[in-house]
Amino acid sequence: MNTLTVVKIGGNVIDDSAALHRFLTAFSSLSGAKILVHGGGKIATQIADKLGLQTTMVEGRRITDKPMLDVVTMVYGGLVNKQIVAQLQTLDINAIGLTGADGGTVLAIKRPVKDIDYGLVGDIDEVNSGQIQFFLHQDLTPVFAPITYTEAGELLNTNADTMASAIAVDMVKHNEVTLVYCFEKKGVLADPTDDNSVIGELTPTVYAEHKAAGTVNKGMIPKLDNAFKALGNGVAKVIICHADELALAAQQGAGTTLRLEK
């Protein structure tokens, strides 16, 4: 079976042009087929401020009304996405910039209102892995901005971590998939204040032990829960690592690797 690496890069790296270039250089060196899913960084907030739009965040999630959706669509699906695609072209990666609407690749539904009304935010309903696989067969590297669409043709802002996981899970139909989350930490830390306290490997049993002991940062728990869910749905392994250590992590020389029990 073909191998595929799905990589998600966080906003902190996108905000730093030098860090982004280092990351894209490492991404371009990964062997085999690959897909990149990126966040938006602070650029959308900066542009919203210039337009006189207020940004409201709840537990790190953006409340997206119609004017804010217009901004994030322009920034994520336009400016940030195309800057990344252009840089990858200079690194000999024939990249194609996409949102979930392009090629009907990622269909979503508007998030139901419960305790919080997030506005025009999408929960992923379906991934068109056949279309994505077609792009890969054309030697194209898909670069996804975190914008999805509904059956009614409405665009929605979508969490990039969730989008990467959903794409990875559906691509299992065609490939052996590794999912990599890159951000500003070296991996899952036993002590959030100590960057050298990286937990090298997590299985569900070891993860449960760390949660029970309170040694895993609470902010990391939702990401890890989703990562283990991806493993349970066929993803071969999940790696969480520093963006500067992507190449090493891909060779299992850095970061935290998540696996199911052997």
Q: Where are the domains of the chain?
A: 2-183
| Binding region for substrate | 40-41, 62, 157
pTM of the predicted protein model: 0.94
Q: Which helix (H) or strand (E) holds 19?
A: helix 17-29
Q: Is the predicted pLDDT of residue 44 greater than 80, yes or no?
A: yes
Q: What is the pLDDT of residue 203?
A: 92
Instruction: Give per-residue pLDDT as tens, 194-234.
Output: 888 899 999 999 998 888 888 887 778 878 888 999 999 99
Which residues are annotated as part of the binding site? 40-41, 62, 157
| Model confidence at 241: pLDDT above 80 | yes
CB atoms closer than 10 angstroms to residue 241: 26
Per the listing, tokens 């898909």 go with: 142
List the CATH code of the domain at 2-183. Answer: 3.40.1160.10
Q: Where do runs of H (alpha helix) occur along 172-250?
A: 204-213, 221-232, 246-250
Share of the chain above pLDDT 70, in %: 98
Residue 241 in contact with residue 182, Cβ under 8 Å?
A: yes
Asked whether the predicted pLDDT for residue 90 surpasses 80, the reply is: yes
Distance from chain centroid for Cα 9? 6
